[in-house]
Amino acid sequence: MNAAELDALLRQFLVDRKFSGAERDVLMGWADQHITTDQQRDVARSRVFESARNAVTDPAARDVIEFLENVLKVIVPTAGTVGSTASAAVAFSPGDVCLGMIVNHLINARRTVDICVFTITDDRISNTILAAHKRGVKIRIITDNEKAYDAGSDVPRFRETGIPVIVDESPFHMHHKFAIFDGQRLLNGSYNWTRGAAEQNEENIVDTDDREVIARFQHEFEALWKLLPTAK
């Protein structure tokens, strides 16, 4: 399926914010020719919602579009989630595989990234976070209060660019190391987001799209987000 061709059609249809009968016939003809599998249909549906989000500037309207997409995923699951087994990949360090997983997911994020990690000092990761923020991805970060103010911490850089950061204020540690991308992919493991983790430590990351597991981690993130104070 040619996603770029579909995007062009959708942009054309969205000019007048209406979906005419003639446009419906064009789209049906295109779909008959280019969509031959359930997976391609899922991709096309995702592109429709993405085109709608790109067509509006009102944040409230974007939120409603995202709400509709997420509701439909529950009520009418995509082919990739009906009767399928969740996929997962595992990576270990030292080496660049764990780092590559993190950076690739940040590059591919389109809407949201929720990061809950003990410390972030690897500029290769931090620069990719900042680039995602710059292109409009909604990023939230939870980190440990002591590590947030360590030499080399990139938390001040995030705050300077407007990325919201919250920290724990306790004698204990916020020791999680997980991140959720667009609500659809989870990275979790022992891997700290540091050069030491990539170059020296024995670490691991599990990368999964298991919806139930992601929901549990998302619940934990939201609970911490409401509980912990904003970094100062």
- As annotated, the active-site residues are 175, 177, 182
Q: Three-class SS of residue 182?
A: coil
> Which residue has tokens 């919602």?
49
Would you say 121 and 156 are in contact if contact means Cβ atoms under 8 Å apart?
no
Can you read off the two tokens belonging to residue 137?
Answer: 């991805």
Report the distance separating Cα 98 and Cα 92, nearest Å: 6
Would you say 210 and 125 are in contact if contact means Cβ atoms under 8 Å apart?
no
3-state helix, strand, coil in the chain (%, to 5): 50, 15, 30
Report the distance separating Cα 68 and Cα 10, nearest Å: 18
- Quote the Cα angle for 203-192-139, to 5°: 135
> Which residue has tokens 């990061």?
115
Can you read off the two tokens belonging to residue 63?
Answer: 């939120």
Smallest Cα–Cα separation from 161: which of 193, 129, 192?
129
